[in-house]
Amino acid sequence: MVTWFAAMGRRGSRARSAGAMPGRTAGRPGRRALVAVLVGLALVAVACSGGGPAQPGGSAQPGGGSGGGNAGGKVVGDVCGLLTPEELKAQLGVDFPAGTVKFVSGSTATCDWETPVGQSSALVSLTVEAFDSTQWDMTKKRDSARPVPGLGDDAVFGFLDVLWVKKGDLDFTIQMVILPAPSAATLDAAKIELAKLVLSRL
């Protein structure tokens, strides 16, 4: 509905929930470097699952969906308009700037909200795309997959705790890097609440 994981995972641009590094404080180079590594790793993971190179731009353009799903499915024009910085703060307690489109390819678009250097490191990434049944089945069959009943048409926490949600001919993912890291339960709850907001706007 924001890439080597797809060897284990999927297309789009995804980051992961991560633990804090002992002995470091928010905003120091070590912490920022860790966030950069985690985000970069997630980007590579999603790309390897089938998406092409990121094309910076404003909004997703109509195009064919991936094989096995919805060819040329519904396109979201303003992916960054699906969540606001205020809504992110309400769930995570962090001040975020406006979202920035980071990936546009066919019927896939990704928006990132990332705190500037000097604050507690935080990044939220939302990817929306045409539903792909093959990728969806791969995600749900992973040993680490955790179903989320009652969310959208179907929902699951997949690899690295990325939240995947299906609605009609679209699906979307929400992933986060927050340092210092809240508990896994807190991050899961935040992703679910944000997903409800996205669902209400699709």
Could you give the CA distance from residue 171 to residue 161 in angstroms, rounded to a whole number? 16
Give pTM, 2 decimals. Answer: 0.68
User: 86-137, pLDDT tens digit by residue?
Assistant: 999 999 999 999 999 998 888 899 999 999 866 578 999 999 999 999 999 9
3-state helix, strand, coil in the chain (%, to 5): 35, 25, 45
Tell me the DSSP string of 9-74.
S-SS------PPPTT--TTSHHHHHHHHHHHHHHHHHHHHTT-------SS-------TTB-TT--
Q: Which residue has the higher pLDDT, 119 or 176?
A: 176
Best mean pLDDT range from 30-39, 76-85, 188-197: 188-197
Q: Which residue has the higher pLDDT, 144 or 51?
A: 144
pLDDT of residue 184: 94
pLDDT of residue 10: 41
pLDDT of residue 152: 97
Report which of 124, 88, 81, 132 is spatially closest to residue 108, judged by C-alpha positions: 132
pLDDT of residue 74: 52
Mean pLDDT of 43-72: 38
* Element housing 197 (H / E): helix 184-201
